Homo-oligomer: A and B are copies of this chain.
Amino acid sequence: MDFEGALSAWQTQLGPEHVVTENDALEQKQTATFETSQQVLAIISPKNSAEVQAAIKIANQFNVPVYPISSGMNWGYGSAVPTCEQGVIMELSRLDTIENFSETLAHVTIGPGVTQQKLYDFLQQKDSNLWMDATGSSPDCSIIGNTVERGFGHTPYGDHFNHVCSMEVVLPSGEIINTGFSRFDNAHAASTYKWGVGAYVDGLFTQSNFGIVTKLTLWLMPKPQYFQAFYIMVEHDNQLEELIDTLQPFRLNRTVKSTVHIGNDFKVLSSITTFPWDKVGKNGKLTQDVVDEFAKLWDFGAWNVSGALYGTKQEVASARKQLKKAFNGKVKSIRFLDDTMLSLAIKLQKPYKWITGLDLPRLLKVMAPVHGLKKGIPTPDIIGSTFWRKKVDVPENPHPDRDKCGLIWCAPVAPTTGHHARAMVEIIKSNVDKYGFEPLISMSMINERSLDNVISIIYDREEPGQDEAAHQCHQQLMDDFNKQGYYPYRLGISGMEVTNKAEPQYLAFMKQLKSTLDPNNILAPGRYSSEK
């Protein structure tokens, strides 16, 4: 590695102001929401694909590993921190063009610097009838960053990668390719037909280190005539299996067209408030009794479903009727909420509390942003839950890395059955308590057949010993999940070794692809691979 040589070449190529080596900046980038040891040598910020291309050629020439990030907000999975022990971060936030927008055909092409908020504002400005999909992470998150990690959101377009139609990719060699039909001159269907002709390669550039996605065409969702969120609640933990099995056929047959999120009581509590230090004994353990008290006060259950219906009024009515019938007598409550009802609730929250004793404001604090997410509206309000174990209020502009919030996510996937849901809950409960954490569980029906169990290990990085406990807890959870046949949909930088558990032939195949595309192993070594 000739780091000095590379640095000087990058300075010439990108301009010295876009090659940062100041300690503060490096320190910031090598800080995640959990303990890391990786060292960031420099941050380079190309302004367009051609500069990305030039920068990666320099990396090859001087044999310096480069780790591309978009917004660097991959919180819970490693933020901006590289997978390799020493590396240069290539920040892509300056590639923020929005182009190739079609209201009729519902597509748009974005760069990695385009944030959720930026695309949302763009659509608003166009007075568009199209919706984007958003995640609950910061409005300042990069859409490409999330998409190439195969993240998911809340609308019928929530499986982000499934709604991608062609990419511009800078290969590790520095060559630029366009995928799908966009590799042909003037191909009209480049943004409307994703398979193109010949091998379909877009998937190679998700969860990998095979290329840098510098542009991505995204399909947008036509706004439905009518929208209604639904909330289902069961009182007792042992109702989980029935809850899942009753929902499953509706998700399978697309009566419910979008991701359904199912949170346990601890998870809902952590979304509404920070840790109730005052109610908790000296050992700092939050007991089920205390949680149950809050559940009564704020009206949530042992398991809480949130989903939405989209379509014409008649279609939504049909879906609503079916859900009501299926859950009749099986749950504590099933509620439907449209935009009008939500506005009304916000207006009436004070008298409501006065009459019922229920603290509607607390619930609305969670429900309003979640309601918006189901319509693809980004929100800054969810990320506050990373402050769960902090002893301060959530600041104005929360930044989990800077604010020393501890967060590690673990996200195993299972078939959507009550049986598997229970098996996963057992694994969680038998582990997190041991390490002193709460079982913060959210299960998402991410597609018609699968349940993604997102476990949040949330802690305070300023508490001594917590980093280590969280790390151990995460490792143990991952091991136990894998042993029992549950593998994650996505990996954090400290969990990449899961990829090694694959059959050896597959590992050899991946290695073969990597070594032909990146013989010097300079692009994000160790990302979704154990070869650092």
Mark A residues whose CB is within 8 Å of B.
104-107, 150, 156, 161, 171, 175-179, 181, 183-189, 191-208, 210, 219, 222, 224, 248-249, 252-255, 257, 311-312, 314-315, 317-318, 321-322, 413-417, 420, 446-450, 452, 482, 485-491, 498-499, 501-503, 505-506, 508-510, 512-513, 515-517, 528-529
Contact = CB atoms under 8 A, between A and B. Distances in A.
Nearest to A502: B183
A505 B498 CA distance: 33
A104 B499 contact: no
A93 to B, nearest CB: 24
B195 A200 contact: no
Nearest to A528: B198
Contact of A485 (B176, B186, B498): B186
A509 B171 contact: yes
B203 A202 contact: yes
Contact of A528 (B197, B482, B502): B197
| Copies of this chain per assembly | 2
A181 B415 contact: no
Contacts of A179: 506
Contacts of A449: 105-107, 191-193, 219
Contacts of A189: 413-415, 450, 486-487
A478 to B, nearest CB: 12
List 7 tightest A-B contacts by C-beta distance, closest first.
A200-B203, A192-B449, A314-B318, A199-B208, A516-B516, A186-B485, A183-B502
A208 B198 contact: yes
Given A413-B189, A449-B193, A505 B198 contact: no
B197 A207 contact: yes
Contact of A203 (B107, B203, B482, B528): B203
Contacts of A202: 203
Contacts of A490: 197
A201 B198 contact: no
A233 to B, nearest CB: 25
A145 B193 CA distance: 21
A168 to B, nearest CB: 11
Contacts of A207: 195, 197-200
Contacts of A222: 249, 252-253
A473 B204 CA distance: 37
B517 A512 contact: yes
Contacts of A485: 184-188
Contact of A150 (B161, B195, B206): B195
A197 B513 contact: no
A255 B273 CA distance: 41
A449 to B, nearest CB: 4
Nearest to A496: B198
A297 to B, nearest CB: 37
B252 A198 contact: no
20 contacts: A106-B448, A106-B449, A181-B487, A183-B506, A184-B482, A187-B486, A188-B485, A192-B447, A192-B450, A193-B449, A197-B490, A197-B491, A198-B529, A199-B203, A199-B510, A200-B204, A200-B206, A203-B204, A255-B312, A512-B517
A193 B413 contact: yes
A166 B191 CA distance: 26
A322 B315 CA distance: 12
B489 A415 contact: no
Contacts of A314: 314-315, 317-318, 321
Contact of A487 (B184, B219, B257): B184
A178 to B, nearest CB: 6
A39 to B, nearest CB: 25
